[in-house]
Amino acid sequence: MTFVSTKGMYTTQQGLSQIQDTGRLAIEFLEKDIRMAGYMGCATRSTTMTITNTLNNPGDYKYAFQTAIQGYTAATLPTGTLTKTPVANTDILVVRSAGSSGVQVSKNNDSAQVFVTNTGTETGGCGGNKNRVSGICEGDILVVTDCSKARIFQVSNITQSGNEVNLVHSQSGGNSPGNAISSWGGNSIDPDESFDAGSEVMTVTTSVYFIATGASGRPSLWKSQNGVEFELLPGVEDLAITYGVDTDASQDFIPNSYQTAGSVVDWNRVVSTQISLLIASTENNVLPEAQSYTFDGATVKPTDRRLRRVFSSTVGIRSRLN
């Protein structure tokens, strides 16, 4: 009897430890990307920076970088967004931002090229015989920004000239989605299309967090990054998100209410999120009997004997908060 009791306690403790580790990591992953949503370089609110998207299909979820954050449910997600099928009645989060590091513009751009500092070449760094130059690959989607404005484009070709790298953004090149326009005005035509030395060029990323069946056959937390889907953490059964919306006419960057994805009218008014994750032990029969739990306002009595815990966090979008 003592052995059975001790083994039961050990199994429960192991399950609890696994849940805590999974919950902590899941919250960290989500918090990091949510905080950086809409980042386009510099310590400037994305709502005060003019962002021009020159890509084809700028309304496609993968390329809509002018919209920092969006939410869906499994039922409202546009067809073709994901290869994996999200678990029914779970929420889906889309965040878009530039990377945290980039390369500096070396001189003012012309109508067809952006010039950046040559920081080195990584042979074969882009796969096959294509090199990564100044951290950039042909086909990368980039943003060039000078803190007052930003312009999103795709690199169609990379050439080098001494200590300078030329990023060409023509419409051709066989890359997807491609550029809607191949020529910018440059400083001789339009100041809004001119980026001086000291401006920054960074890659931009669309990340999607969702719940889908994992390798174990049970729900897991998944992430899609620029269209590449991968399983992050097993044992995450549900994701629920509400969005803090600034509804004041003055737009003071303070959330007035938290709304579900279906209730948000203007995603550019979202300044924070409240996220909740339901984590279950990966092993069954951890508890002596089934344990009821409450998640997103509903109480559920499961048929298995897994241990479950809810992890929650309120996360602000740095580029939209005071």
Furthest CA-CA distance within the chain: 86
Mean pLDDT, the chain, rounded, equals 90
- Among 36-45, 87-96, 140-149, name the one with the lowest average pLDDT: 36-45
pTM of this prediction? Answer: 0.91
DSSP code string of 34-79: HHTTT--SSS--TTTSEEEE-BSSTTSTTT-TTS-EEEEETTTSPT
**For residues 37-64, average pLDDT:** 83
Q: Output the CA torsion sign for 28, 34, 39, 44.
A: negative
* Segment 271-278 mean pLDDT: 98
State the pLDDT at residue 86.
Answer: 97
Residue-wise burial string across 289-308, b where 16 or more C-beta atoms lie within 10 A, e elsewhere:
eeeebeebeeeeeeeebbbb
Please say if the pLDDT value at position 287 is more than 50. yes
pLDDT tens-digit readout, 159-211: 988 889 999 999 866 788 999 988 887 555 577 788 999 999 999 999 999 99
Q: What is the pLDDT of residue 228?
A: 93
The pLDDT tens digits for 239-249 are 999 999 999 98
Rounded mean pLDDT, 77-85: 91
Give, in degrees to the nearest 5, the angle at Cα 313 between 311 and 316.
Answer: 160
Q: What percent of the chain has pLDDT over 90?
A: 69
pLDDT digits over 88-115, tens only? 999 999 999 998 778 999 999 988 999 9
The reported pLDDT for the residue numbered 217 is: 96
Q: What pLDDT does 3 receive?
A: 45
Q: Under a CB-based contact definition with an 8 Å cutoff, are residues 145 and 103 in contact? A: no
- Cβ-contact 117, 198 below 8 angstroms: no
Least confident of 172-176, 228-232, 279-283, 299-303: 172-176
